[in-house]
Amino acid sequence: MYSILELKSNVRVPPTLIDEKLKDSVKISLSEEFIGRLGKDGVFLSIMDVKEIGEGTIIPGDGAIYYEVTFEALVYKPKMQEIVEGFITEIAGFGAFVRIGPIDGLVHISQVMDDYVNYSESGSLQGKESNRSLKVGDEVRARIVAISFKNVQGAKLGLTMRQPGLGKIKWIVEDKKKESEEQIEDNKKEGKKPAKKR
């Protein structure tokens, strides 16, 4: 889930940024310190605004100025059971990796679809009965079922696509179309007329 958080921190502004406007130099320093890093609040993506800048402190022998600041940051922190969309970045014999924003998740081969799934040497996962396939670049919708956060590179998300409304986007569209056609047929059998469009 993406969030904008208001946070407080001490930031070091190096001598190379002292010529800049204070707010700009603080924002640059915050970006260098936080962007791309994982904290208890999630993965930091952007420093949105610097709200308050306290009195500067100079430490002898350092040359930098330290400020206590209040700022807004855009962060991504996955939540259990959250529905996410992304695209397949890699297919392996054990499943598919999905890029969802700043991190990747894994859909284990057993969680790809309600079908027996085979790994193809061509680099795809194929359903035995449904004949549906999943390959690199496909857009998918999945649900987060496991989270392990040590660092951004070591962040692990377990995903599932075995649920109605989840899976490859193309499959979802096909299923909705089929469901709509079946509903029309059922209505015809029961003698109901289709609803008029307004």
Q: pLDDT digits over 118-127, tens only? A: 898 888 999 9
pLDDT at site 135: 94
* Sole residue written with tokens 């696509």: 161
d(CA 149, CA 78): 10
CATH number, domain 2-76, options 3.40.630.10, 3.30.70.20, 3.30.420.280, 3.30.1490.120: 3.30.1490.120
Which of 22, 29, 30 is closest to 6 using CA atoms?
A: 30
Tell me the residue type at 178. K
What's the chain's average pLDDT?
88
Q: Which two tokens stand for residue 57?
A: 């402190």
d(CA 53, CA 13): 12
Q: List the domain boundaries for the chain.
A: 2-76, 83-185
pLDDT at site 151: 62
CB 158 within 8 A of CB 103: no
pLDDT at site 70: 95
d(CA 58, CA 13): 10
- Asked whether residue 25 carries a pLDDT value surpassing 90, the answer given is yes
pLDDT at site 19: 86
Segment 167-174 mean pLDDT: 92
Q: Which two tokens stand for residue 121?
A: 């040497």
pTM, 2 dp: 0.74
CATH topology identical between 2-76 and 83-185: no
* Domain 83-185, CATH: 2.40.50.140
